[in-house]
Amino acid sequence: MRSSALLAAILALGMSAAAFATKVPKLKPMVLTASSGTLSSGQEQLICYHKKAPAHGMDVGRIKISMPGTGGHHVILARPFPGTLDWPPHKCPLTLNYDSWEVIAQSQHPDFDWKLPPGVAVNLEPHQPLLVQTHYLRSGLTQKKSQKYLTKTEVFPIDPKTVTAHAGALFLNDRTLAVPPHSASTATSRCMITGEGDQARELKLIGITGHYHFRGKQFDAYRVNADGSRGELLYEYKGFDQPVFQQYSDNPIVLHKGEGLEWQCTYQNDTDKTFLFGADAAIQEHCILFGSYYPTDTTQEAITCLHDKNPDGTDVTTLHIVH
């Protein structure tokens, strides 16, 4: 009798352990590969790949991107905003439609390794559509043989039980910029991303990167105090190459209620042309801040802010919180 009872207890424990194990998703990284396409001398390639999150969903605590070879401009991992899913063609346009796609992470350098703070995660829903875009350029001065590179995006999950907050994406875009000929100039925008009045909330920044094209020489981001005055410098990058992704995971930047960000791009234009906003790097310019923050009000959230002009020419800044 005693041995039968012991056997029954062991079997019960085994069954409960097995049942528990089936409820906990395996914490294995998801690896998304995407090719640069075949690159010939002087060629530019932008390619979009359809991907999706695993069936059990995922809370992501780390993202690594490898962009091998020469001529890599960026690799982007994105997901669609709520609403109609509008996949771009495999041969991508010059830029994603950022009104429809949220950038989760992007690398503008060969190696990218982003570790979120302990307990903070990017949430992916089960089977959620994901997009990987690769962008490569081959200069006419590089090797004459055609090349093809395979990028790798690794997404590392963490135990959902350890998640205390979710991270959201920042996308701040200046469409008003105009880079005049034969001069140095600076385009400046600001957005009160923490909100105003009763809707204001505290946000913690855990990553910032800037983006411009070939005339860009420096990217800066500042705190904007609640009274509208410019605060301290939070991010600075000097150089025409792609700005780096600055991580603040160990010491997040706290934006208090009513505060915001000011971002600016400095350009040097030695040509006879004026460069306006647009995706074509040869004839247009960008001044965009990508970033990440926490906490969010919902499991998945993004903040987008657009600096533009009204039909009468006056400046207008529009803030959207996408849930």
Residue 207 and residue 154 in one domain: no
- Inform me whether the pLDDT recorded for 17 exceeds 50: no
Cα(124)–Cα(52) distance, integer angstroms: 9
DSSP state of 241: S
Residue 142 and residue 216 in one domain: no
pTM recorded for the entire structure: 0.87
Domain ranges, residue 230: 167-322
Please identify, among 138, 162, 186, the residue that sits at the C-terminal boundary of a domain: 162
- Inform me whether the pLDDT recorded for 5 exceeds 60: no
pLDDT digits (tens, 9 = 90+) for 113-166: 999 999 999 999 999 999 999 999 876 544 567 889 999 999 999 999 999 999
Reported as half-sphere exposure (CB side, CA atoms, 13 A), residue 227 has a value of: 2
Total domains present in the chain = 2
pLDDT digits (tens, 9 = 90+) for 159-191: 999 999 999 999 999 999 999 999 999 999 999
Q: Which residues contact 197 (CB under 8 A, 6 or more apart)?
A: none
Backbone angles phi, psi at 322, to 5 degrees: -100, 120
Residue 149 and residue 245 in one domain: no
Residue 172 and residue 114 in one domain: no
Rounded (10°) CA dihedral 132, 138, 143, 146:
50
Residue 148 and residue 191 in one domain: no
pLDDT digits (tens, 9 = 90+) for 194-209: 998 888 999 999 999 9
Residue 316 and residue 172 in one domain: yes
Which residue's structure tokens are 């105090």?
A: 225
Backbone angles phi, psi at 145, to 5 degrees: -70, 145
Cα(291)–Cα(168) distance, integer angstroms: 9
Residue 147 and residue 212 in one domain: no
**Where does residue 165 rank: exposed (0-12), middle (13-18), buried (19+ CB within 10 A)?**
middle
**What is the Cα 181 distance to its own chain's centre?**
31
Cα(90)–Cα(5) distance, integer angstroms: 62
Please identify, among 128, 146, 162, the residue that sits at the C-terminal boundary of a domain: 162
Please identify, among 100, 127, 162, the residue that sits at the C-terminal boundary of a domain: 162
DSSP three-state, residue 12: helix
pLDDT digits (tens, 9 = 90+) for 261-278: 999 999 999 999 999 998
**What percent of the chain lies above the pLDDT cut of 90?**
74
Residue 147 and residue 245 in one domain: no
Give the pLDDT score at 83.
87
Residue 87 and residue 52 in one domain: yes
Give the pLDDT score at 274.
97
Residue 153 and residue 187 in one domain: no
Contact 110, 241 (CB under 8 A): no
Residue 209 and residue 139 in one domain: no
The CATH number assigned to the domain holding 248 equals 2.60.120.230
